[in-house]
Amino acid sequence: MRIKFFTEGGKGIGFGHITRCLSLCQAFEELSKDCIFVVKGGEEVKEVINVPLKFIDWIENLNSFEKELEDSQVVIIDSYLAKEEHYQIACAKVDKCLFVDDFNRLEYPCGYVLNGSVYAGELNYQIKDGVSYLLGTKYTPLRRAFWHVEKKDTDIQIGKILITFGGDDSKSMTLKVVKHLEDVFPHIEKFVVIGSGFKNRSEILSLRSSKVRVYQKLSEKDMRDLMVSCDVAVSAGGQTTYELARVGLPSVLVAVAENQLLNCLSWEKVGFALYAGWWEDDKLLDKIVKYIRNLEDANIRLKMSKVGRLLVDGQGARRVAYKMLKT
């Protein structure tokens, strides 16, 4: 059986959709199914996708989209850009469809609708014949390395801070945050992750020192191990937050896109993270520092870690694949 993914990613878009689709693909591959990706995006996507890949602007070209459906038994669409016509055509042409949604964007015509976010239950999805909803962190798709994660120890003091703003850091937050934390916490190690879409990579690399370590092209296992080794994270508020929760790494979150606001606020509400604010806020850096100081209390970090691991068990992608293929 062939599973075809339609999504978008790269510079200016980010890699959250790509990573989520890869997580689902790995679960289908475990069940001996083949995956193919059809992506609207740039060549930098090749650095993170290790399955057959086509670059097609399937969003603007409905004819190309329809042609790609011809040899597919299962179609998965993960997109903020796809129009209602895409979903209608997919439902008419393919037996099994899965549509990934983050904020009740459309009224989907058929199949499974997946929203693995921590706030999914609050979105009031409309009950509809022929549509099944997979909602909440029980169904959060994570990459294979995060399916099984050993319990993380909580150290008495904060010795290592992870700084991660996704694969492209479209708002160039990494450089600002690292510089500020170096000034305020010179004794603490900063583990900085940069991706293929970064525009200011050379400037960030120039900050390397005994206390600032910069990581590029990390495998999913390396990323997991880096998270496990740290005491606190400063992160954008997208898909990475679910990997941080799975590991149990208490986090200070920054919303760098409108679609991250609800996610950040929801993680704070349930007690896993602290929301420092919108990326353009004047006092953002000071608030990040304030929250890191709050997290110097190991008991607070331990409670947050437990909340994250309780909510995200890493098995979401497997549950989705099993549900789709058993029917």
Determine the 3-state secondary structure of 272 from DSSP: coil
Residues making up the binding site for substrate: 15-16, 143, 243
Helix H or strand E segment including 236: strand 232-236
Token pair of 72 as six digits: 């597919």
**Contact of 92 with 51, CB cutoff 8 Å:** no
Q: What is the largest CA-CA distance in the chain?
A: 60
Q: Is 261 helix (H, G, I), strand (E, B) or coil?
A: helix
- DSSP at 225: H
Q: Do residues 225 and 243 make contact, with C-beta atoms less than 8 angstroms apart?
A: no
Catalytic site positions: 17
d(CA 35, CA 273): 34
Q: Which of 26, 29, 5, 28 is nearest to 17 (CA)?
A: 5
Distances (CA, A) of 180 to 163, 204, 207: 12, 13, 12
User: What's the Cα-to-Cα distance from 46 to each of 4, 11, 37, 219, rounded to whole Å?
Assistant: 17, 12, 11, 14
Which three-class secondary structure state does DSSP give residue 209?
Answer: coil
Run of H or E residues at 303 = helix 298-311
- Cβ–Cβ under 8 Å, residues 111 and 99: yes
Q: From the annotation, which residues make up the binding site?
A: 15-16, 143, 243
Give the burial string for 151-173 (b: 16+ CB within 10 Å, else e): ebebeeebebbbbbbbbbbbbbb
Burial class (CB in 10 A: 0-12, 13-18, 19+), 184: middle
